[in-house]
Structure 1
Amino acid sequence: MFTPPDYLSPSSIRLYQDCPQKFKINKFDNIKEPPSWATELGTFTHEVLEHLYLLDPSERTHDSVKTLAGQLWADNGWEEKVLSLDEPKGDIKKFKQTAFSNMINLWNLENPQETFIDEMELEVESEVEGVRMRGFIDRLSISDDETAIISDYKTGRVPNPRYNTPDKQFFQLLAYALMLESANDVQTSQLDLLYLTESTKKTLEVTPALLATAMGTIVETKEALDNACNTGEFHCKVTNLCDWCHYKKTGLCPAFANK
């Protein structure tokens, strides 16, 4: 009934896990969620910090962040993007202040002048246990022992550990570690999540057990997705998270269509 996508990404796997119906509406019906304050804030912050690390180490300063933010804001039409948000959490001034605060918080987590990154926004395409995968790694560093350190910026809050075990919190980065090993025969030793809003760095040492759990999640999700495509049945996973879902608010989700 539906043709499974040629490739999965770590984020699309998470999307299917969150809610198969949401995956269907997004991927097969091609009805995308509009940008939100949070997603645009994250995108702008990522954009500026990526350009920061293109500078020579000695030039990576607070002033450089301010200059880069101003240039990218103008060059990439960010004011129009923020003004067009359906549910803004504030005005342009608040958006800029929040974004700049997140960027400056990077200095609480690492010294950019002493941080060396080998690749940014690295596209990786590989096959993990028969599942074709594709995605982009935010930051990749190669350590002295030639193993990889994969890092990602986060502009949301640190998840409650009661509900997010390390294998779940770091799933996307663990998936990238598997992809990197499959594509380039590079072993990953460490994963870092940089929560800029709260100036918190979460680090995970990669182990065979964690990689095996992530691999199992990838394979199980692919099997479930293929079955849903064959039957046309993408069930609605109704949870408290539905209150933040665009498809519930717009009546597109069958679970809430007549409510």
Structure 2
Amino acid sequence: MFDPPAYLSPSSITTFRECPMKYKFSKIDKIQEPPTWFTHLGTFVHEVLEHFYQLEASERTVDTVRTTAAACWKESDWEAQVLALTKPMGSIADFKKAAFECMTNLWSIEDPQQTELSGMEHEVLANIDGVQLKGYIDRFIIGDDGNVIISDYKTGAIPNPRFKSEDDKFFQLLVYALMLQEADQEETSKLQLLYLKHSANHEMTVTPVRLAVARGVIVETKELIDKACETGEFSCNISKLCDWCFHKSYCPAHTK
């Protein structure tokens, strides 16, 4: 009935497991969600930090992150993008303040002058047990021992452990670890979620068991997606998250 996407990404796997119908709207029907204050904030901070870490180590200071932010703001016309939001959460000054706080909180997590990244916004393609995967890694470091540390910037809130387990929180990075292992024969030793808003670094040690579980989730999810595409039946997972879902107004679970 529907053609399954040629590739899955770590985020699309998460979307399907959270709600198959949301996955259908996004990946099958190609309904694009408009940007929000929070997605713009994350994209802007990511853009600035990518340029910032391209500077020489001695140049990575709070002053230069400020000038880098100003250059990115102008080059990508971020003011127009923020002003175009249908539901702004504040003024341009509020947006800049929130973004700059995330950037400067980086110094509470690591010393940028002592942090040498091996790659940023790194595209990786891999075949995991017959499942074609594609994604972009925020940043990674290859240590002296040859092992990789994968990091992901987060500008939002830290998930409540009552609703999201550690394995779920790190699932996407575990998938990237598998992809690097398959595509580049790189072994990942550690995962980091850098919660910039809260100056927090959450880490997970990569183990064979965790990788095996992630591999199983990938294969199982691909099978479920293929079955849903074949039958046209995408279930709705009704939860409190529905109130935050862009697709709620036309979702069959809420239009009966």
- TM category (shorter chain) comes to over 0.9
Shift of 1:253: 1.1
Corresponding position: 1:202 with 2:185: no
Normalization by structure 2: what TM-score? Answer: 0.98
Which residue of structure 2 lines up, in the alignment, with residue 15 of structure 1? 15
In the alignment, is the contact (CA less than 8 A) between 1:105 and 1:197 conserved in 2?
A: yes
Whole-angstrom distance in 2 between the partners of 1:93 and 1:29: 36
Q: Secondary structure at the match of 1:150?
A: strand
Q: Secondary structure at the match of 1:246?
A: coil
Which residue of structure 1 lines up, in the alignment, with residue 233 of structure 2? 233
Whole-angstrom distance in 2 between the partners of 1:176 and 1:37: 27
Which residue of structure 1 lines up, in the alignment, with residue 181 of structure 2? 181
Instruction: Report the residue type matching 1:34 in the other structure.
Output: P
Which residue of structure 1 lines up, in the alignment, with residue 251 of structure 2? 253
Which residue of structure 2 lines up, in the alignment, with residue 215 of structure 1? 215
Whole-angstrom distance in 1 between the partners of 2:18 and 2:32: 16
Whole-angstrom distance in 2 between the partners of 1:107 and 1:113: 10
Instruction: Report the residue type matching 1:205 in the other structure.
Output: T
Which residue of structure 1 lines up, in the alignment, with residue 160 of structure 2? 160
Whole-angstrom distance in 1 between the partners of 2:165 and 2:240: 19
Residue deviations 1:93-150, cap 9 Å, x none? 1000000000000000000000010000111001111111010111011011101110
Matches within 5 A, 1:134-145: 134-145=134-145
Which residue of structure 1 lines up, in the alignment, with residue 85 of structure 2? 85
Whole-angstrom distance in 2 between the partners of 1:218 and 1:78: 36
Instruction: Report the residue type matching 2:144 in the other structure.
Output: D
In the alignment, is the contact (CA less than 8 A) between 1:21 and 1:235 conserved in 2?
A: yes
Which residue of structure 2 lines up, in the alignment, with residue 103 of structure 1? 103
Residue deviations 1:168-223, cap 9 Å, x none? 11000000000000001111000001000000100110001111111111111101
Q: Structure 1 stretches of 5 or more lacking a match?
A: none
Which residue of structure 1 lines up, in the alignment, with residue 242 of structure 2? 242
In the alignment, is the contact (CA less than 8 A) between 1:150 and 1:190 conserved in 2?
A: yes
Which residue of structure 2 lines up, in the alignment, with residue 170 of structure 1? 170
Instruction: Report the residue type matching 2:233 in the other structure.
Output: E
Normalization by structure 1: what TM-score? Answer: 0.97
Aligned pairs, how many? 256
Shift of 1:160: 1.4
Identity of aligned residues (%): 54
Whole-angstrom distance in 2 between the partners of 1:99 and 1:234: 37
